[in-house]
Every structure is written in C-alpha cells, then in structure tokens.
Amino acid sequence: MAYQALYRVWRPKNFEDVVGQVHITRTLQNAIMQDKFTHAYLFSGPRGTGKTSAAKIFAKAVNCQNGPSLEPCGHCGACIGIQDGSIPDVVEIDAASNNGVEQIRDIRDKVKYAPSAAKYKVYIIDEVHMLSIGAFNALLKTLEEPPKHVIFVLATTEPHKIPLTIISRCQRFDFKRISQSAMVDRMKKIIEVEEIAVTDKALEAVALSAEGGMRDALSLLDQAISYSEDQVEIEDVLAVTGSVSQAKLAKVVSTMNTNEVKETLLEIDGMIQEGKDPGRFVFDLIYYLRDILLYQTAPSLENVLERAIVDDAFKELAEKLDAEWIQMAIKELNQCQQEIKWTNSPKVFIEVAVLKICNQGTGAKADVASMPAVEQLNDKIQKLEQQLTNIQNQPSQGAQTEKQQPAPKRSAPTNRNSFKVPYDRIRHVLNDASKAAIQKVRAQWPTFMDALKKQSAPAHATIQNSKPSAASEDIIIIAFRYEIHCSLALEHKQTIELMLAETIGQNITFIPIPEAEWTSLREEYVRKQKQQDEGVDEPDTSSSQEEEDPVVDAARKLVGDDLLEIHD
C-alpha cells in the first residue's frame, strides 16, 4: 500500500480526536443525544482546525445505527460507509470548484428524495464562501424550508464573505486556533503509536510553526521525519520550516539592545547564508519580542505565548529589556516586514531596520534632551519669562525709586505723571464715538488678546490690565489700571495696532489713559452734553485751565466739581 501522509492517517474519526474545540464538540454531542440538532450549520475558523472533520463525524453520529450516542460507533454499516465515502446520502462538495448555479440547483432538485442507505441526507459544502451570488440565491430557498431528512453543514475560512441571509438560517460554530500545548499532546500520541523518535523541543518547534493548525503541524512533522535520520531534532524542524532557533533570536535581541551593531549584522548575515527565510526571521523576531513584552506584563500569560519557550535565558532577557524599547523595536520590524514583501533584496531592509533599532537604543532618551533645537527653544522660553517678570515688576520698582529719591511736593504730581493725557484728542474721539464701534471692539477683544499673547508676550503683558472704553471708526480709547502701563503700551504701539487691525479688520489706532483720568473726563463730557442739551453754556476758560493745570485736576478728584472754585 502506498504511503499516506500523517494528517490523512490521523484525521479525526470521532469527536474526542477533534483537538482544542471542546466548546463545539460538546454542543453537537448534546444536540445528538437530545435529538435537537437543526437542519443547517455553519463551521467557520482558520485552516486545519477540524471543520470538515467535525462535519463528517457529525454526519456519522446522526446516522449511526447504534445511536444516539456521544460518539459514532465506527463499526456499523452507516459509519463505515460514510467514512470511506461509499454511501451516497452523505455528499462532500468543494465549493471552490463547484461554485456555479447549476451545481446548487442539482442539489436543490435531489434533496426532496428520501435517503437510500441512512437516516439523513447530509450535504457538507467546504469553502462555501467561494459560491457565486447566483449559487447563494439558489441555496437560500432550500436552507429556508428544507425537507426533514436533510442536513446542511457549510464550512469556511472566510465567513465575512457569506451573505447574511445565509448565515441567519444556520447555527454558527466558530473554530479557534489550537493551542501549542494541545498540538504537542496530540503529536506525542501519534509518534508513540507510529514509533517515531522525536524530541520534545522539536515537537514544540513544529507547534510554533504550525500557527494553530493541527493539519499544518502534522504536515511539518511528516517533513521533519523525512529530513532527519534516526531521531527528529529541533535542528531538523528549523531546517524544514526555515525558522530561527530561540537561542539565535535571543542573541539578536540582546545585541540590538546593547547597541552591538557589528555582532547583530554578522548574526543576521550568517542566518541568511544558511538559507533561512528573511521574511520568516522578521516574523519570528516580532513575535518573540511580543512574547517578552507579555511575559514582562504578566508572567502568568505563559500559556498564550506564540513564539517563545520560557527558559532561563528568556526570563533573563525579559528582566533586562525596557518595555518602551521593545515597543519601538516591534514598530520598526513591522515596517520592515511590510517593505520586504515588495523587494528582491529583503536583507537590505532588515539591516536598515536593525541600524534604526540600535541607534534608538540605549542613550536615545538622553540624546533627545540635548538636541540643539530643544535647547534653543528652552533658552527662548526662559528669556520671554524673564522679560515678562521685569515688566510686571516695573511699577513697584518705580515706586521704590520715587521713595528713595523724594522730590518737592509741588513737583511730585508732575514727576509721577510721566504720561501726559491728551485730553483734547480724547474729547474729539468722544464726539465721534458710537455705541456700535465700541461693541465691535469689545466683541473681538478676547480674540485680539490671545493673538497678541502668541505674537508678543511683552506687549500682551503691558495691555493685560486694560479695557476698551470708547471707540470711533478708527480710534480706540483704552483705560489702564496703572499709569505706567500707558507709557509701556506706547512702547509696543506698532505691535498692538497691527494686531488690532488684523483682528478687527481695519486700520485702527489707540489712545491710552489711566482709569482715574478716564472716569473724571467721561463724567465731565457727559455733564457738558446735558448742559448743551438744556441750553446752558459752560465757560471755556475753566476747561482749558483744568487741562493745563494738573493741580486743578487733582483738586477735582478730591472734592468734585460742585465745591470747586478756580481763581487766578
């Protein structure tokens, strides 16, 4: 008899042999025992996880002549006939090659006939997502109202390609990837029966490379057996799969972390010279780093590691590496993995990725802090903060200077009031001022202040304690809390007016005035307006004297206009 591959010889024949899918096999067994199985099932999941095998076992279980039982007996005529494919009532169809409307219509025409050699007709449609839209539509009516003696089992690796109208008429079972430990246990039973010598590390390497598929694991084991001599060693598995040993992965990671560029590149060059697949190497390296990161976070996650076996070297490396460095390395290797898909020189991209990882390794954080651009920015921030502090301290410094250098009482107001209020100009603005103009300015004032702060911090500091009090079409009167800020604001006049123009949308100038002077001037202007409205003229000499003599202005503040009499 010709040699048969291991995955064909050891294909599951009962539910117990379906590895890692207890949540599905138990449900199907209970449904059979309670006679509550339905007319249509959808088995979805990765390749090699037992979908079609489970469908065939289910077909044997529902038709078993010694049933119902948890497992098909395997000895009755129905079980033997279904297993060897001699019973026509159980039909296995490959939808990849039979995906047309005609094939499905043929099924639809035949389902109405009763089974000839079994209790139920079972149609197993593999890779059902390959059916055409017309074929799905032809299948839809049959799934909706099937005869009582018909069961459909649809198997697929891509359930998202199946119309929802089909899925909604099936009981769906999702097969999951088989864990490494479950695959290793299954392979140990097989090699024990087959009397093949395989080391535990070789079995673990096979399970790692199989990526959760039992069929792939048995195929790789079959290859390794053919490649080896008397006993299958881990080196045989690595040679067959093109994978890299965990020891070499650990060495590459360690040398990259310590910035040993030469050692890392020589190690990679040696692996590629040995014929290792560059893409597979990057793939294994990414998952090895991922396993280290998971183990660092929670050592109890040992059972969910994908590429690593937890030994002393692995634990030592996990304690040594920084989590941020691992994340950075994974990102670089992932970018490299994308690039080598479209190149004939994968080695070059791997070397570039290694250089990037090494350059961003130890000491990278210190380099960031010493970058010239960052230093310049820090210096600029410090200078701006110093200027702002000086501006805020100027009023108190001026007051201290005046106390240290007292002047005669009569000249004190003149020296203190270094800013001369332009009364005539302000009165002219008040004559032309309007409520609409000042409302427009006040509406844009917060925006103007934010823009000025970004443009010039010193200018913003001088105008911070102020508010727009009156405005004409092209002039704004700004009242300041402190007199000295009026002078300081004029030093930044060009910057402030430029920002005002950009914010308000027209060329505009400003006149500063201390709040105290603004209050008295506004009261005077309002009083004059009332008197003019009532037909009473006020002597002009008083106003001119008030403007010219600061002593009169100070007296008005103290006693008010009603008690004030002015004599030459």
Task: Compute the chain's Rg from CA coordinates.
Answer: 45
The residue type of 110 is: K
Q: How confident is the model at residue 44 (pLDDT cuts 50, 70, 90)?
A: very high
DSSP-based helix, strand, coil % in the chain, nearest 5: 65, 10, 30
Mean pLDDT across the chain: 81
Q: How confident is the model at residue 562 (pLDDT cuts 50, 70, 90)?
A: low
CA distance 382 to 368: 19
The strands making up 475-480's β-sheet, listed across from edge to edge, are: 466-471, 475-480, 509-514
pLDDT tens digit sequence for 390-402: 776 665 544 454 4
CA distance 291 to 284: 10
Q: How confident is the model at residue 171 (pLDDT cuts 50, 70, 90)?
A: very high
Tell whether the model's pLDDT for residue 330 goes beyond 50. Answer: yes
Place of tokens 């995906």: 99
334, containing H or E segment: helix 323-340
Tell whether the model's pLDDT for residue 546 goes beyond 90. Answer: no
pLDDT at 432: 83
Among residues 103, 97, 101, 137, the alpha carbon closest in space to that of 123 is found at 103
How large is the average pLDDT for residues 92-120? 84
Q: Please, what are the domains in the chain?
A: 6-176 (3.40.50.300), 178-241 (1.10.8.60), 244-369 (1.20.272.10), 418-537 (3.30.300.180)
As beta bridge partners, residue 43 has 155, 173
Tell whether the model's pLDDT for residue 548 goes beyond 60. Answer: no
**CA-CA-CA-CA torsion for 211, 215, 216, 221, nearest 10 degrees?**
120
Tell whether the model's pLDDT for residue 282 goes beyond 80. Answer: yes
pLDDT at 54: 93
As beta bridge partners, residue 91 has 123
CA distance 307 to 284: 7
Q: Compare 363 and 271 and report the one with higher pLDDT.
A: 271
Among residues 499, 547, 497, 496, the alpha carbon closest in space to that of 521 is found at 547
pLDDT at 52: 92
How far the first Cα of the chain sits from its last, in Å, is 139
How far CA 332 is from CA of 191, 286, 345, 352, in Å, comes to 40, 10, 17, 10
Kindly report the CA angle at 456 between 451 and 462, in degrees rounded to 5? 100
pLDDT tens digit sequence for 119-146: 899 999 999 998 888 888 888 888 888 8
- 3-state class of 536 per DSSP? coil
Place of tokens 């008690």: 563
Residue 115 Rama label (left phi>0; alpha psi -120 to 50; beta): beta
pLDDT tens digit sequence for 442-466: 888 888 888 888 888 888 888 888 8
Among residues 203, 220, 206, 176, the alpha carbon closest in space to that of 50 is found at 176
> If DSSP states are collapsed to H, E and C, what string results for 52-93?
HHHHHHHHHHHHCCCCCCCCCCCCCHHHHHHHHCCCCCEEEE
How far CA 429 is from CA of 90, 116, 433, 489, 517, in Å, comes to 101, 109, 6, 19, 15
Which residues have a Cβ under 8 Å from the Cβ of 83 and sit 6 or more positions away?
13, 56, 60, 74
- DSSP letters spanning 154-195: EEES-GGGS-HHHHTTSEEEE--PPPHHHHHHHHHHHHHHHT
Long-range contacts of range 292-298, CB-CB < 8 Å, 24 or more positions apart?
A: 292/253, 292/317, 292/318, 292/321, 292/326, 293/323, 293/326, 293/327, 293/330, 296/321, 296/323, 296/326, 297/323
How far CA 178 is from CA of 32, 65, 153, 237, in Å, comes to 25, 32, 21, 19
**What letters, b where the CB count within 10 A reaches 16 and e where it falls short, cover 460-470?**
bbbbbebebbb
pLDDT tens digit sequence for 14-42: 999 898 899 999 999 999 998 888 889 99
> If DSSP states are collapsed to H, E and C, what string results for 244-279?
CCHHHHHHHHHHHHCCCHHHHHHHHHHHHHCCCCHH
Place of tokens 């290793």: 184
CA distance 257 to 26: 48
Tell whether the model's pLDDT for residue 167 goes beyond 50. Answer: yes
Q: How confident is the model at residue 564 (pLDDT cuts 50, 70, 90)?
A: low
Structure tokens at 560: 């008010």
How large is the average pLDDT for residues 142-154? 88
